[in-house]
Amino acid sequence: MLLFLLCTLAVASRAEIAEEDDVLVLKKSNFDEALKAHPNILVEFYAPWCGHCKALVPEYAKAAGMLKAENSEIRLGKVDATEESDLAQEFGVRGYPTIKFFKGGEKESPKEYSAGRTADDIVNWLKKRTGPAATMLTEVTQTEALIADNEVAVIGFFKDGESESAKAFLKAAEAVDDVPFGMTSDAAVFTKYEMSKDGVVLFKKFDEGRNTFDGEMTKESLLSFIKSNQLPLVIEFTEQTAPKIFGGEIKSHILLFVPKASSDFQDKMDQFKKAAEGFKGKILFIYIDSDIDDNQRILEFFGLKKEECPAIRLITLEDEMTKYRPDTSDITAENIISFCTAFADGKLKPHLMSQDITDDWDKNPVKVLVGKNFEEVVFDPSKNVFIEFYAPWCGHCKQLAPIWDQLGEKYKNHDDIIVAKMDSTANEIEVVKVHSFPTLKFFPAGDERKVIDYNGERTLDGFTKFLESGGQDGGAPAGDDDDDEGAEIDSDVEDDDSDAEGHDEL
């Protein structure tokens, strides 16, 4: 009887972990119990109002259902971080959605989820984290299923599974999270896929359908081969593809902004795809539906309006983002190829946006700078210039505005001090790369063209002490501001754009 009661209590305890569409609903009160019952859990920390969380719901539920149908021990869970703030704080949740994998019942150091946001991406990533890097394929039907069930799959054909080439393949498999790998020595599988000798084939449900590796079988060369072929020749920017686009090895991206509903959409796409063929593995070709509301921030970043689309832009995502604009708006394969070739040859100059200089730019105490008058005003050797680089949509900038106006009023009669502001969504300059808003920088008088970051309190008193000390009290050499995080054209900008220090990211 005692044993029966204990079992009943255990079942009742586990029954408290509710499920929604096969996803465990986790709270602080049942989190530890969930880890005991299901040692391997992927947990999404979300906010009910978060648009990106809402977009993830169907794919997350689909992934949970796929795993459950396979009788997998891996489960998916979710935590409403706005209700369970203690859990969110415990696991360092700063934006939504944040997804962490708890393996082996341990909750001390969960692994950050790093793959895409489709059900297949989620399942493949989890299997890589809990099982062998490559599935051993012993028959044709098993191999066919792996290929059929996945958008991309990589299969190694090795007659000797202990060969050096096979070992290199497994090392490559361990390094890739978002693509399933299989390995076979079965003669029937070799015959089915027309493999007469050892080799590696990437199977995919787009473009040419399969790519056969041709080169020295090393981990590095295999990874290069996979990364060059795992994405479509032309890929659409969406919630699901964004992690693959920005997490890939190719850091030069050409973007076609085009309304998918337009009558000439397919013609533009045909031209774009034709041009892409010669730059595979060098430049990633991406198209963006310019009619979608969620994409308007991206258009703004490139200084584009919906009515100006279709349009082409190119960007490099290295240490600093650099943008390029073609000389012609005529979208043909020939023009795109010429544009990309000039970029690859280093013959293009970066495109820097600028608004026109208004007649009243210096009428008010806070001067209004644009790209076209920045150099003339800021590097006047007789002036000390303090600038706020802002974005019109930035909440922190709006909070700062009245204080910045007070600062301008205080120093409006100082001949050697200028308080200014610049809309960095519409103006760009070479000497300052703005990654978050507001960014405050001081340009002291002199011929040295020095730049000092402001790191002090955003108060009138703090700004005053900074200016009166010549940029010493509250300042730091440009580049030392740890608050500015790397800018990305990210799918999460809407819901994960504010940090604890009061910056809105680009």
Q: What is the 3-state secondary structure (H, E, C) of 325-373?
A: CCCCCCCCHHHHHHHHHHHHCCCCCCCCCCCCCCCCCCCCCEEEECCCC
Question: For the chain, how long is the longest CA-to-CA vector?
Answer: 91
Q: How far apart are the first and last CA of the chain?
A: 63
Beta carbons of 250 and 284 less than 8 angstroms apart: yes
Q: 39's torsion region: left (phi>0), alpha (psi -120 to 50) or beta?
A: alpha
For residues 137 and 182, is the Cβ–Cβ distance under 8 A? yes
Does 309 qualify as catalytic in the annotation?
Answer: no
Q: Is 394 a catalytic residue?
A: yes
Q: Which of helix, strand or coil describes residue 113? A: coil
Whether a cis peptide bond, with omega within 30° of 0, leads into 438 is: yes
Residue in this structure with the two tokens 């689909």, named with its chain if needed: 62
**Which residue do the tokens 């602080």 mark?**
28
Give me the sheet containing 234-236, strands edge to edge. Answer: 234-236, 284-289, 252-258, 311-317, 321-324
**Residue 225: enclosing H or E segment and its boundaries?**
helix 219-229
Structure tokens at 394: 């930035």
In the set 7, 50, 309, 340, the catalytic residue is: 50
d(C-alpha 304, C-alpha 323), whole Å: 13
Q: What are phi and psi of 277, to 5 degrees?
A: -55, -35
The C-alpha atoms of residue 189 and residue 456 are separated, in whole angstroms, by: 66
Task: Give the other-Cβ count within 10 Å of 429's Cβ.
Answer: 19
Distance CA 201, CA 223 (A): 12
Secondary element (H or E) of residue 198: none
Our answer to whether residue 53 is catalytic in this structure is yes
Q: Which residues are catalytic?
A: 50, 53, 394, 397
